[in-house]
Amino acid sequence: MLRWGFVNLLGQIVRVLTSLICIPVLITYMGLELYGLWSWSITILAVIQLSEGGLSAGLLYFYSKERASEKMFDAHLTSSLILLLGSTIIVCFVIFIFSPYLIDSISEVSINLREELSIVLNVGIVLVAQRIVQSLFWAILQAEGRYELYNLLNTTQIVATNFTWIGLAYANTKYLPHYIYGSLLISSIITVSLFLCTIQTFKRYRWVYEGPNLKLFFNYNLAAWGSSVGSAVFTQGDKLIVASILGPVTLGVYVVFTSICIQLNQIVAHVVHPLFPIVSSSYRESETDLSKVISSVSQMFLVNIHLALIGATTLIVFSEEILQYFLKQDFQPIFVSYFSILAGIYGIYSLAVTGYYILMGQGNSVKVMRVTIMSGIGVLASVYILGSYIGLLGVVLGNAVYLLILKLLYDGMKSIYGDMKSWIFYVAKPLILLSLFVVSVFLLDLTLVSKLILFSIISLFLIFTFIKNYRNI
């Protein structure tokens, strides 16, 4: 399992690096306003992609749980294909009906740019439909433990897309539809590649329609979809609000903040993800191997803690250098405090990843849905209210409401360990140590070299304690 997590980590690091390289290049050559509008466009498409209805999570859960049964596999894949068709139809409907209203909601945008955004969203229909089909293929690769291939294709798609955008921006391309055309080309190539890589799985597939299975599959997917909506409300919905109340320039700055911080959560999620199919396969109808589950959870939770907290601390300590690199002439000293607050929020809420995968693997998707939707709606409300009154700082502070997502960690770990005493000590030491370090950095106003030396010492200590605890599991 740790090997799968390591493979995911390597793939995600490459994806993160290319994304981080892409952001300052796009801002430099496109300008902050045009970059903000392009980010708004892909945010809309990302939200609409949620119409997949939890397809990937559902197939991964049921395929991992009952992989040995050919009949059940056929039934689950049939249910997935039915859901896929329905999702694609919903995508077309949503974009055609609502895109004009969404574009009108943006303040301070010219008529020409509004027309370009309309083209981007309409072409995006095909792109989102392809991504929904891809989610079916991704779930099959993950359930079969083919993480090397999964990471290779996923990384190739993201790297190629980012460098396509960089090439267009470097060529001084100001016409937004050209960027969506490039994305569509890369997506088409990867979709065909995924089909060819999973063709052996489909060769043994037979259409098996079972009403009860479809209902069971649909109910799980509906709850998984609800949890995805809650997450998207937090990661994407806030940008729509910022565009509406603060305009595209402030949105561009905020997108830089969130684009950097979200990489931390994505790294943690990809590394811990192998826990999902392991928990699913351990919880069968008549057997539950808790000893195996406890060992796997303990290992992955240790990884989760150290990645999340060390990553957040890195972003906070070097926030000034990071923002100067990305924003360049648009950098303002006050942004350092805003970004540091946001990085801390993302680091702490990323601790919930282990709990999320435990509950999803146990089939408790309804519980995950309730918590994520509640947290996401809370963020939207707080971002709108605080952002309207105190601007960008209010938007950043509004994100703190999403810490309610830690309820997933508590519930997931409680289902495995029974009480907090068995696992909370894993969090306490690194959290206290890194918090003290962050406070000392700001109070002492250390130089970059001093911060690097002190941070290296603390990181080595935490890595040592991680290895020690991991071996004791």
- pLDDT tens digits, residue range 291-313? 667 777 888 888 888 888 888 88
Can you tell me the distance from the alpha carbon of 210 to that of 71, in angstroms, rounded to the nearest whole number?
Answer: 10
Q: Report which residue type is found at 263.
A: Q
Stated pTM of the model:
0.70
- pLDDT tens-digit map of 90-111: 777 777 787 777 777 776 777 8
pLDDT, tens digit, for every residue of 18-50?
777 888 888 888 887 888 888 888 877 776 666
pLDDT single digits (tens) 64-99: 665 555 666 677 677 777 777 777 777 777 777 877
Residue carrying structure tokens 């320039």 = 249
> What digits encode the pLDDT tens for the residues 371-403?
888 888 898 899 999 999 999 999 999 999 988
Band the pLDDT of 286: cuts 50, 70, 90.
very low
**Best mean pLDDT range from 3-12, 18-27, 33-42, 118-127:** 118-127
Mean pLDDT, the chain, integer = 79
Q: Give the pair of three-digit tokens for residue 455.
A: 């941070």
Residue 6 pLDDT level (bands cut at 50, 70, 90): low
Residue 230's pLDDT is what? 61
- pLDDT at residue 361 is higher than 90: no
- Residue 4 and residue 300 in contact, taking contact as beta carbons nearer than 8 Å: no
The H-assigned helical ranges of 318-405 are 319-327, 334-349, 353-361, 365-398
* 114 pLDDT above the threshold of 80: yes
Report pLDDT for 12. Answer: 65
pLDDT for position 186: 93
Q: Which of 263, 454, 253, 448 lies closest to 339, judged by CA?
A: 253
More confident residue, 286 or 438: 438
Contact 194, 156 (CB under 8 A): no
DSSP state of 233: I
Contact between 103 and 114 (Cβ < 8 Å): yes
Task: For the chain, give the percent of residues with pLDDT over 90.
Answer: 10
Query: Helix, strand or coil for residue 441?
Result: helix
125-151 average pLDDT score: 81
Lowest-confidence region among 123-127, 143-147, 221-225, 408-412: 221-225
The CA distance from 382 to 377, in Å, is 9
Mean pLDDT, rounded, for 141-154: 79
Q: Tens digits of per-residue pLDDT, 448-463?
A: 777 788 778 877 877 7
**Over the range 197-235, which residues count as b (16 or more CB within 10 Å of their CB) and which as e?**
bbeebeeeeeebebeebbebbbebbbbbbbbbbbbbbbb
Calculate the alpha carbon distances from 281 to 199, 213, 275, 406 in Å.
23, 18, 10, 25
Of the listed ranges 163-167, 209-213, 375-379, the least confidently predicted one is 209-213
285: pLDDT strictly greater than 50:
no
Cα angle, residue 406 at apex, residues 402 and 334 outer, rounded to 5°: 40
Structure tokens at 399: 């994100």
Of 104-108, 161-165, 365-369, the least confident? 104-108
pLDDT at site 149: 82
More confident residue, 192 or 270: 192
Average pLDDT rounded to a whole number, residues 237-247: 83
Domain residue limits, the chain: 2-472
- In the chain, helix, strand, coil percent, each to 5? 90, 0, 10
Structure tokens at 5: 């997590």
